[in-house]
Amino acid sequence: RWEEEKKEDGVKWMQLEHRGPYFVPLYEPLPEDVHFYYDGKPLKLSLATEEIATFYAKMLDHEYTTKEIFQNNFFHDWRKEMTSEEQEIIKDLDKCDFKEIHKYFVDKNEARKALPKEEKQKLKEEADKIQEEYGYCILDGHREKIGNFKTEPPGLFRGRGEHPKMGMLKKRIMPEDVIINCSRDSKIPEPPEGHRWKEVRFDNTVTWLASWTENIQNTFKYIMLNPSSKLKGEKDWEKYEVARRLKGVVHTIRAQYRRDWKSKEIKERQRAVALYFIDKLALRAGNEKEEGETADTVGCCSLRVEHIQLHPQLDGQQHVVEFDFLGKDSIRYYNKVSVEKPVFKNLQLFMKNKEPTDDLFDQLTTSFLNKHLQHLMDGLTAKVFRTYNASITLQEQLKALTNPEDNVAGKLLSYNRANRAVAILCNHQRSVPKTFARSMQVLQEKIDAKKKQVEEAQEEVKKAEDECKDTGDAKAEANVEKKKKLLKRLEEQLAKLNVQATDKEENKQIALGTSKLNYLDPRISVAW
C-alpha cells in the first residue's frame, strides 16, 4: 500500500479528516466540607485560586513539593492568579495548609480503585467511546489511529531533573489556543460550544492534526498519529534504511576517524574522538541549547572537562575513561570504558590547561560534525550511529543467545536479554517500579506453590510405578503414563515461572520500550 500511494516530494497526505482534540473536563469545585487553611484558619478561595491550590495539594507526598525552586515558582504563579483580596491575605507559602485537600484526593482515588467491577466496566466503556470518537482520523481513505488526542490537563510543571522552571503553572488549553490542520474538502472539526479555533489550516506538507503553544517553554505541542500509522511507519522505514546503508560504509568511516586521531588539525582530532565515542558508546551528539532554559544536560559534543576522568590503569584495564554526566531527560550516564591508546592521548591533550567547566571538545559543534558525516554518506548524521548500533547489537545478540531447542519461555528470555543489551548500550534506565517488590513476592508464592505440586506429582509417579511393577497390567501402565504426563506439564509450568522471575529481576531498572519503539528495526524481530 505504501508503495502504491507514493506522493510527490514534501506532500504527506491528500485527505485528512478528524474530530479535533478532546479537551479535558472543566474544574469541579471542592465539596463544602473540604477546607484550605491559612495561618491555622479556614479560608474560602475563589474558583481559579482553589483549582491551582488543588494542583499543589495533589503533589504533597511527592518529592517535588519539598524543593525550594518548585515552591517558589508555584507560589509566584499562584499569587498572579489570585483576587486582590486573596493577595492581601496569602503572603507566605509556609502558612498555607493543603492537608485536607490532599486527603480528599487520596480518598477519592482509593474509592475509585475500590469500585465494583460493573462500575469500572462502565467507566471503561465511557473511555472507549471517547477513544472511538476522537482517537481516529481518515487519512487518504484509510482509518488511522491518533497517538495523543487529548489536550494536556492544567497543572504544575515538573520537568526532568533539576529543571529551573519546575512548579510553574501549566495553563489550561482552550480551543482559542488551538490550530487545526485538515484537508479543505473534509468536514472541519467543530469547536466546543461557545468557542472557536485559533485558526484552521490546510497544510498537507506536515503530519500534525492540531497544535498549540504551551506557556512554560513556549514550545509547540502537536497531536500526531499513533506509531503504528502509515505516516510514522514510513518515516521509521526511511530511518532504518539509512541505518542499513551505514552498515555498508561503517568500516570505511571507522578507518577514516582512526586516521584523523593523528591529524595536524586539533579540530579534526576532536571530531574523530567524538565520533569514536558516538559510534562505540552510542552517545547522543548533544545540541547547543539556551542557558537557563532547561536542566544542565549534555551530549557528546557538549561534554565538559569535569564530565570525564582519565585513568592510565584501572581494575586491570589500560587507558580507562570514566564518564559521569547527565544526558537527555537528566538521566545519569556513568560508565568506565577502556579506550584505544591514541584516544586516551588525545583526551589528555584536549584537557590540558583547562578548567573543569571548560568544553572538552572546544572546537567542535554538532553541526560541524554532521556536515562532515554528510560528506561521508548521504543522509548520515550522528544519530544514525545510535540506530545502527542498537539494531546491529540486537541482531548479533539474538544470534548468540537463542537456542532453537528452547521452549517459548526460554526463547522469550533470550529475546529480552538481547533487547536489554541494547537498552544498556543506549542507557535507557528507569527507576525500580513502586509495585516491583509486591509483584515479585506474588510470583515467588506462585513458584513455591508450583514446586509443591511438582513434588507431589513426583510422589504420584513413583507410587504408580510401584503399583505397575506389582500388578503388571495394562491399566496400571496407562496410569503411569498419565501421571508422567502431568508431572512433565507441571515441570514446564515451573520452568516458565522461574524464567519470568529471572526476566523480571534483570529488568527492574532497565526500560526496554524506548529501544523497541525508536531504535530497533522491526524486521530483525520479525525475521527472528
The CA-to-CA distance between both ends of the chain, in Å, stands at: 24
pLDDT for residue 228: 86
Owner of C-alpha cell 524506548:
514
pLDDT digits (tens, 9 = 90+) for 25-53: 999 999 999 999 999 999 999 999 999 99
Owner of C-alpha cell 482520523:
137
pLDDT of 296 above 90: no
CATH 1.10.132.10 location in the chain: 403-527
266-275, 446-455, 462-471: which range is least confident on average? 462-471
pLDDT of 390 above 90: yes
Active-site option among 240, 276, 388, 519: 519
Within 8 A by CB and 6+ apart from 418, the residues are 393, 394, 397, 398, 401
pLDDT for residue 5: 66
CATH 1.10.10.41 location in the chain: 36-118
CATH 2.170.11.10 location in the chain: 16-24+120-226
Q: Does domain 36-118 match CATH 1.10.3080.10?
A: no
Look over the chain and give the mean of its residue pLDDT values, rounded to a whole number: 93
Confidence of residue 497 (pLDDT cuts 50, 70, 90): very high
- HSE value, Cβ hemisphere, 13 Å, CA-based, for 426: 31
* Percentage of the residues of the chain whose pLDDT score is greater than 70: 98
Average pLDDT over residues 159-176: 93
pLDDT of 230 above 90: no
pLDDT for residue 206: 94
pLDDT digits (tens, 9 = 90+) for 302-311: 999 999 999 9
* Spatial CA neighbour of 243 closest among 72, 122, 382, 64: 382
User: What's the count of helices (H) and strands (E) in the chain, helices before strands?
Assistant: 15, 15
Question: Mind giving me the DSSP string for 242-301?
Answer: HHHHHHHHHHHHHHHHHHHTT-S-HHHHHHHHHHHHHHHH---------TTTS-----ST
- Hey, which residues does 169 pair with through a beta bridge? 156
Confidence of residue 288 (pLDDT cuts 50, 70, 90): low
Catalytic annotation on 519?
yes
- Cell, residue 306: 569535569
**CATH number for the 403-527 domain, one of 1.10.240.10, 1.10.132.10, 2.60.40.1180, 1.10.1740.10?**
1.10.132.10
Q: Does domain 16-24+120-226 match CATH 2.170.11.10?
A: yes
Task: Residue 507: count other Cβ atoms within 10 Å of its Cβ.
Answer: 18
Q: Tell me how far apart the alpha carbons of residues 468 and 475 are, in angstroms, rounded to a whole number.
A: 9
3-state secondary structure at position 448: helix
pLDDT for residue 1: 65
CATH architecture of 232-380: Alpha-Beta Complex (3.90)
Q: Tell me how far apart the alpha carbons of residues 79 and 65 are, in angstroms, rounded to a whole number.
A: 17
3-state SS record for 199-251: EEECCCCCCCCEEEECCCCCCEEEECECCCCHHHHHHHHHHHHHHHHHHHHHH
